[in-house]
Structure 1
Amino acid sequence: MHEFKIDVTLDASLPFVFAAFHEPEYLSQWFAPGDCMVTQVMIDFKSGGRYRIKMMYPSGIEMSLTGEYVLILANEQLSFSWAWEDNMEESVMTSVDVHFEETEENQVRLVLLQQGFMNKKECDQHHFAWMSCLEKLAVLSKKKKTFS
């Protein structure tokens, strides 16, 4: 099994960064890599609740991500399952664990671990995609801070 870990610091408040991982208005602005965009967010944000996020590339190709929230500790930790509905990958389901920590006022350390990949190629693709998404989240965080 393959996994990756990302450890970044965002210039934002802890409540905003945590909300950005489950509030549709924020997710729709950052939760798609590169020039892909979020077209639909459906979330039942509670332990055992399910989510479905639909994304579309400029070419019109759509993909849908689905999973279940396993653990929710407000402003501390978020764990959820992750599966693509297209069944194009060897890995049927992976897990994502995100830890949130305020290191200074308006500075949040985010540690994300995704594991359960069947091969290195899929693992690397997801790592790259998360980095792209987190760059968008960093930009959104700065905008949010400016307008707060």
Structure 2
Amino acid sequence: MRISRQKILSAALVLSVAVNLIIGGFLITQWIDHGGDKRRHGKFHFDRREAVSILDEKEQEKFRQLWKDNRGSLRPFFREFRQHRETLAELFSAETLDLVAINQTYADMIATQIQIESFIQASMIELAKSLPEDKRAAFFEKGFEHRKKWRNSKKGDEK
């Protein structure tokens, strides 16, 4: 059975569009994650290293200890998230696309990401409760500052 030239070209077009969407999505997320000011920060839009800079030595040590205590609990989730990404890479680069497996793996990856985000949120709440009110406000303002700068620079570009 011979495949017509038109079917081959149609399949190539669909594959090309899919690859371009994947690459474009990756580039856009990288650009968004690293913001307009090009500062590097973690996937989770809070710059803890910058925020810690406003704390005194005692509070910084308390924060580091809290982070160390929680970091071990997060490792399995990050490992699982990385494994899902690797599986997705294999599925997308396979000779035949298994859309069911791709969708399921992607859903599993998002579920793992939600678990990570929930754990980090709980840690941030625990930290927020331990800081005095004036330090808490300054800490979180500083940690989220780069996101505001990026958003404000984008609003200025629209005018």
Common fold by TM > 0.5: no
Q: Which one has a larger percent strand, Structure 1 or Structure 2?
A: 1
Which protein has the larger Cα radius of gyration, Structure 1 or Structure 2? 2
- TM-score with structure 2 length normalisation? 0.27
